[in-house]
Amino acid sequence: MLILPVRLQFLRELEVPYCALYDMGYTSLGGMTDTHPNPMLLDKDSTAEDGEVRFRPAYELVEDEQERLGRDR
């Protein structure tokens, strides 16, 4: 069972506010210098006109083991 996506979907369905970073591809939140969007959520088909890379929301993560891939440590 995928823990993070299930939790986020639960919050979304009940319209409970949650951290907006999860919608920007962050799956594990840590410090400001060691936390990045999860590379497994990179949206290869959607690059902004200015060249900015886009990430899918955290609730689309497929494997629990990939949750911390957005952390440096």
Number of domains, the chain: 1
Residue by residue, pLDDT tens for the chain (73 residues) are 467 778 888 888 889 888 899 999 999 888 889 999 999 999 987 766 667 889 999 988 888 888 888 888 6
Dihedral (C-alpha) 26, 32, 34, 37: value to the nearest 10 degrees?
A: 20
Give pTM, 2 decimals: 0.77
Identify the domain containing residue 17 by its residue range. Answer: 3-70
**Alpha-carbon distances, residue 13 vs 7, 25, 38, 50, 59 (angstroms):** 10, 19, 23, 33, 12
Tokens of 36: 């990045």
Distance CA 71, CA 8 (A): 19
